[in-house]
Structure 1
Amino acid sequence: MFRPLSLALTPLALVLAACSPAEPQGEVKPRPALVVQPEGADTLMDIFPGEVRARYEPELAFRIGGKISRRLVTVGDRVEQGQPLAELNAEDVGLELDAARARLASARADHRLAASELERYRPLVDRGVVSRSQFDSVESRFQAAEAQLKQARAQMDVARNQAGYAVLEAPDNGVIARRLAEAGQVVAAGQTVFVLAVDGDREVRIDLPEQDIDRFQVGDEVTIELWSRPGDTFPGRIRELAPSADPASRTFEARVAFDNGEVGAELGQSARVLVHGGNGADALSLPLSAVTADDGDAYVWVVNPDDLTLKKTPVETGAYHAERVPVLAGLAADAWVVAAGTQVLRDGQTVKPVDRQNRPLHLNGKGGE
């Protein structure tokens, strides 16, 4: 008799059990937080990748147009001054030289004939055998023949030079940095065939962003580091700034000079140019990961050393750099700031400060294990 009543009460018991208070959960442990203190803005560095180049890199080209018959060097070859680099098909310039020789021979014959005729007419006009007007005509022909001879000699010199221009020679000792033409190619006069890296001074080529170009001037001191020798830095200075931006990259080319004799840098090596980016003696700097923005306003998470709680602190920042950002106002020099995972933090949250090696830090005796 009582079994149906027992079955009817079972759902009610389940509902009451579900509505009963849950057992209290354990206290949430403070989460570890990587914290750092701000550094002086004089530690800020802008880093620009670059490549070691020769200071002088002339573009070599033929002075006449034609078809390249032979290419005698390639990229990376070391050449000496006067060494042939490439040759044009000399058939056309050879024919022009032959024509110039023929014109010169004809001009010389005309000049000899005019000179001898002038010598015959000179005594005749003195004796009155020929008229003065006839003598003047003979004298004019001689002067014209003399001018034509000079012209033929000049044309001969030009043709001889043109024949010499069919061979492209190295103007200095150096290394072929680029090759822009090949055997069988027809090139115009002045079209670049090779780029020569002249022996001597070396420098680093970098590209500067257009928004920061006003910060740089010729003569500014910088620091150079070779990728092959990390940690070794060398002093340098900006030697040259491009007057206009590259139309494709919208960056300004800069050349940074340094003492290659001391550094021993080779062509093509990768390098970094470090530019100090201080923002005043009172400015501080933080890692990029420590600064967050909310509706365009920058802020950081500052740890209260007394109770290890977080406070959202608005700050004023300067121009962002490659790895750090200057903080111009809103932050004390001895503050402890969270430097990672800032997007998951909340105001008033308790944290356990650690350093970059995940070792506990003690702030005013708080923190740690």
Structure 2
Amino acid sequence: MLRPALSLIGVLGVALLAGCGNGEVEPTSVRPVMVVQPQPASEAFASYPGEIHARYEPQLAFRIGGKVVERLVEAGERVRKDQPLARLDPQDVRLQLEGIRAQVAAAEANLRVARAEHERYKTLMKRELVSRSQFDASENSLRSAEARLRQTRAEFDVANNQVGYAELRATRDGVIAQRLFEVGQVIAAGQTVFVLAADGEREVAINLPEQALEHYSLDQEVTIELWSQPDKRYPGRIRELSPAADEQSRTYSARVAFTEADVAVELGQSALVSIRNADQVSLAVPLSAITAEQGRAYVWRLKADATLERVDVRIGAFGETQVPVLEGLQADDWIVMAGVQLLHEGQVVRPIDRDNRPVALAGQE
């Protein structure tokens, strides 16, 4: 029984030797690998929602207090410069004006008496019929009457102006952005009743978090995207940055101006402002592309001849899907994004993209 078994083994050995009689090793197949190029790191940009505002938004208020008796415009209406917006009850300021008008008349009459008295004393002084002190007293009375008349006339001008202050007018062309009162309400002098969005430049109002404020500065370049125009991006700059945080939100308000002139935007539109942080990196790769050995991170980069080379990289904090690359890669590099543990230096591979399409490397026809 043993002899037939040995014969069978001998036959198989001869067959194997016959198949490999030329001494050549069968070529191994080229391994396909999925490759990607580094993308701009999302960690290098911070995006903040904002709203379109006018460059100038004066807060309009009455210069005197009183009861509002008439509102002539509503929020959202366009107004022209010097157009009446609202009126206060003018009764009190008119009565005050009439009272001061009477004081002016009394001061004028008193001045006429003082002037006549002074002229009489001047004549008597020439005849030496009155003393010098009596003449000086009449002269002082005349000067006092003149000063009193000037005072009452100034008070009359103020009261007359206050009658005009009972009507609030627009300071420039624009749109009423806010209305902050109701008819019948008693308001104080200087209390804001309207916010006017003046015609002209438009900008984006955003709020910056306290922990990120050190990364931003005035005139820093940004990118503005409008929700109504998702396919367009406008360059801008930080025009204004508040030095103090809001008491409630603890954020710092900022205004972003459009760099381009005549951007077609409307008040109140939503916008997204993206600000690049100069302290952050500009490239990132997928998590699966990074591997490490002895504490050193590296990736597999494709050379022009479709072979692999190991490249050490310095990385930042891991994100959810990407890793920021601080050093070691360029934007036009191709790196392997999956199966990196099975690769070795100099290995020939067949690169494909995420859609399983061949990737043409630089130097290949």
TM over 0.5: yes
- 1:184 and 2:184 aligned: yes
The structure-2 alpha-carbon separation of the partners of 1:83 and 1:335, relative to structure 1 and needing over 3 Å to count, comes to same
- 1:275 and 2:275 aligned: yes
Q: Secondary structure at the match of 2:182?
A: coil
Q: Secondary structure at the match of 1:162?
A: helix
- 1:344 corresponds in structure 2 to none
C-alpha distance in 2, partners of 1:213/1:280? Answer: 14
The structure-2 alpha-carbon separation of the partners of 1:269 and 1:100, relative to structure 1 and needing over 3 Å to count, comes to same
- 2:115 corresponds in structure 1 to 115
C-alpha distance in 2, partners of 1:104/1:66? Answer: 25
C-alpha distance in 2, partners of 1:147/1:51? Answer: 56
**Aligned residue pairs, count:** 304
- 2:257 corresponds in structure 1 to 257
The structure-2 alpha-carbon separation of the partners of 1:157 and 1:63, relative to structure 1 and needing over 3 Å to count, comes to same
- Say whether the 8 Å CA contact 2:224–2:272 is kept in structure 1: yes
Give the letter aligned to residue 150 of structure 1: R
The structure-2 alpha-carbon separation of the partners of 1:178 and 1:35, relative to structure 1 and needing over 3 Å to count, comes to farther
C-alpha distance in 1, partners of 2:60/2:167? Answer: 12
- Say whether the 8 Å CA contact 1:44–1:324 is kept in structure 2: no
- 2:47 corresponds in structure 1 to 47
- 1:68 corresponds in structure 2 to 68
Give the letter aligned to residue 139 of structure 1: E
> What is the CA-CA distance between 1:132 and the residue it aligns to?
2.4
Give the letter aligned to residue 126 of structure 1: K
- Say whether the 8 Å CA contact 1:71–1:87 is kept in structure 2: yes
The structure-2 alpha-carbon separation of the partners of 1:277 and 1:134, relative to structure 1 and needing over 3 Å to count, comes to closer
C-alpha distance in 1, partners of 2:168/2:318? Answer: 50
> What is the CA-CA distance between 1:85 and the residue it aligns to?
0.9
- Say whether the 8 Å CA contact 2:235–2:260 is kept in structure 1: no
The structure-2 alpha-carbon separation of the partners of 1:235 and 1:126, relative to structure 1 and needing over 3 Å to count, comes to same
Give the letter aligned to residue 96 of structure 1: Q
Give the letter aligned to residue 317 of structure 1: G
- 2:173 corresponds in structure 1 to 173
C-alpha offsets along residues 296-350 of structure 1, whole Å, 9 cap, x if unaligned? xxxx9x9999xxxxxxxx98424969x9662437999654447xxxxxxxx99xx
The structure-2 alpha-carbon separation of the partners of 1:290 and 1:176, relative to structure 1 and needing over 3 Å to count, comes to farther
The structure-2 alpha-carbon separation of the partners of 1:304 and 1:140, relative to structure 1 and needing over 3 Å to count, comes to closer
Q: 123-132 or 49-58, which moves further after superposition? A: 123-132
The structure-2 alpha-carbon separation of the partners of 1:284 and 1:59, relative to structure 1 and needing over 3 Å to count, comes to same
C-alpha offsets along residues 267-308 of structure 1, whole Å, 9 cap, x if unaligned? 111111122346567x63147x9799xxxxxxx9x9999xxx
> What is the CA-CA distance between 1:39 and the residue it aligns to?
2.2
- Say whether the 8 Å CA contact 1:81–1:172 is kept in structure 2: yes
The structure-2 alpha-carbon separation of the partners of 1:259 and 1:220, relative to structure 1 and needing over 3 Å to count, comes to closer
The structure-2 alpha-carbon separation of the partners of 1:169 and 1:41, relative to structure 1 and needing over 3 Å to count, comes to same
> What is the CA-CA distance between 1:258 and the residue it aligns to?
1.1
Q: Give the TM-score normalised by structure 2.
A: 0.71
- Say whether the 8 Å CA contact 2:215–2:278 is kept in structure 1: no
> What is the CA-CA distance between 1:354 and the residue it aligns to?
10
Q: Secondary structure at the match of 1:253?
A: strand
- 1:317 corresponds in structure 2 to 316
C-alpha distance in 2, partners of 1:319/1:180? Answer: 48
Any residues of structure 2 matched to 1:184-223 within 5 Å, and which? 184-223=184-223
> What is the CA-CA distance between 1:38 and the residue it aligns to?
3.6
Where does structure 2 lack aligned partners over 5 or more consecutive residues? 1-33, 291-296, 303-312, 343-350, 360-365
- 2:92 corresponds in structure 1 to 92
> What is the CA-CA distance between 1:210 and the residue it aligns to?
1.4
The structure-2 alpha-carbon separation of the partners of 1:177 and 1:40, relative to structure 1 and needing over 3 Å to count, comes to closer
- Say whether the 8 Å CA contact 1:317–1:329 is kept in structure 2: no
C-alpha distance in 2, partners of 1:291/1:147? Answer: 90
- 2:324 corresponds in structure 1 to 326
C-alpha distance in 2, partners of 1:182/1:291? Answer: 63
C-alpha distance in 2, partners of 1:209/1:324? Answer: 24
C-alpha distance in 2, partners of 1:93/1:154? Answer: 15
Taking only the aligned residue pairs, the percentage that are identical comes to 51
Q: 133-142 or 225-234, which moves further after superposition? A: 133-142
C-alpha distance in 2, partners of 1:57/1:237? Answer: 19
Please report the RMSD computed on the Cα atoms of aligned residues, expressed in angstroms.
3.8
- 1:133 corresponds in structure 2 to 133
Give the letter aligned to residue 328 of structure 1: L
C-alpha distance in 1, partners of 2:274/2:227? Answer: 13
C-alpha distance in 2, partners of 1:51/1:354? Answer: 43
Give the letter aligned to residue 132 of structure 1: R
C-alpha distance in 1, partners of 2:132/2:171? Answer: 58
Q: 75-84 or 219-228, which moves further after superposition? A: 219-228
Give the letter aligned to residue 283 of structure 2: L
- Say whether the 8 Å CA contact 1:318–1:328 is kept in structure 2: no
Q: Secondary structure at the match of 1:236?
A: strand
C-alpha distance in 1, partners of 2:300/2:266? Answer: 49
Q: Secondary structure at the match of 1:232?
A: strand
C-alpha offsets along residues 232-258 of structure 1, whole Å, 9 cap, x if unaligned? 111111111111111222211111111
- Say whether the 8 Å CA contact 1:316–1:330 is kept in structure 2: no
> What is the CA-CA distance between 1:194 and the residue it aligns to?
0.7
The structure-2 alpha-carbon separation of the partners of 1:235 and 1:41, relative to structure 1 and needing over 3 Å to count, comes to same
- Say whether the 8 Å CA contact 1:202–1:260 is kept in structure 2: no
C-alpha offsets along residues 95-122 of structure 1, whole Å, 9 cap, x if unaligned? 1111110111100000011111111221
